[in-house]
């Protein structure tokens, strides 16, 4: 990665998504100051594992601290967010710039968010998300109601789901592709009712 970026000194915009690859804020700062002096727009999404042995909060703070500096906050106003699952098992933490700049978003409930943005109201823009993978089960009642997804074209939805889904997805006007995963069929009447509401709010589904 470093060798590639060394050849792009005139780069003004960089958008990069790295699966299972993580570069901390100190390393990015060094790369940018040495090789990308003309960079104006910087958008990334990275991930790094969290193990059972990790204190998750301490690990998240360690990640975010590398992006807390005058270089990130004041000079460029590039703000970073961490997204991770709060379960006890091993998990992945996603690290990305705000506003979120990528088309895919995975939400499976029991998640936490923490960012370097001093005013979240200025950073909560998720308009770029077109593909939502939503697996928020009823037993997981932690919602992210401050995230509003109004531009969904593809929806992968686990059923049953609760009302927190509609707090995040206020409209399905642009939805044209739907994949449903039936997690439980204990209450078929409720499932049918939720599906009917979903279809009624999705005018462009064929």
What would the pLDDT profile of 37-51 be if each residue is shown by its tens digit?
Answer: 999 999 999 988 877
Most confident among 34-48, 146-160, 179-193 (mean pLDDT): 34-48
Q: Alpha carbon of 79 to those of 69, 71, 116: distances in Å?
A: 11, 11, 6
- Picking from 20, 107, 33, 101, the residue whose alpha carbon sits closest to that of residue 70 is 33
- Between 159 and 52, the more confident residue is 159
Lowest mean pLDDT, pick from 41-50, 147-156, 184-193: 184-193
Query: Which residue's structure tokens are 């697996």?
Result: 135
% residues pLDDT > 90 (the chain) = 44
Strand ranges inside the chain, DSSP E: 13-17, 41-50, 79-85, 91-98, 104-107, 111-115, 131-134, 154-159, 177-182
What is the predicted pLDDT for the residue at 33?
A: 95
40 by Cβ neighbours in 10 Å (0-12 / 13-18 / 19+) ranks as exposed
Question: How far apart are the C-alpha atoms of 3 and 35, rounded to whole Å?
Answer: 10
- Say what the pLDDT of residue 127 is: 84
Q: How far is CA 182 from the centre of its chain?
A: 24
Structure tokens, 13:
């915009």
Give me the mean pLDDT over the 10-26 stretch: 92
Cis status, amide bond into 7, omega within 30 of 0: no
**Would the pLDDT of 187 be above 80?**
no
pLDDT tens-digit readout, 164-174? 788 888 889 99
- Name the band, by pLDDT with cuts 50, 70 and 90, for residue 141: very low
């Amino acid at each position: 990665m470093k060798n590639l970026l060394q050849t792009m000194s005139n780069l003004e915009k960089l958008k990069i998504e790295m699966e299972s690859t993580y570069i901390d804020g100190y390393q990015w700062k060094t790369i940018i100051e040495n090789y990308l002096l003309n960079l104006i727009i910087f958008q990334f999404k990275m991930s790094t594992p969290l193990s059972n042995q990790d204190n998750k909060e301490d690990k998240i703070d360690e990640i975010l601290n590398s992006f807390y500096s005058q270089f990130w906050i004041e000079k460029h106003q590039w703000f970073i967010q961490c997204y991770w699952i709060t379960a006890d098992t091993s998990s992945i933490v996603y690290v990305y710039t705000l506003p979120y700049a990528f088309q895919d978003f995975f939400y499976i409930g029991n998640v936490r968010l923490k960012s370097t943005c001093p005013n979240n109201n200025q950073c909560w823009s998720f308009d770029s998300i077109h593909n939502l993978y939503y697996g928020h089960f009823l037993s997981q009642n932690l919602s992210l109601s401050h995230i509003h997804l109004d531009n969904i074209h593809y929806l992968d939805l686990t059923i049953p789901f609760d009302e927190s889904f509609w707090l995040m997805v206020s409209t399905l006007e642009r939805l044209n592709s739907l994949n449903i995963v039936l997690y439980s069929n204990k209450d078929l009447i409720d499932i049918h009712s939720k599906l009917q509401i979903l279809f009624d709010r999705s005018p462009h589904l064929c």
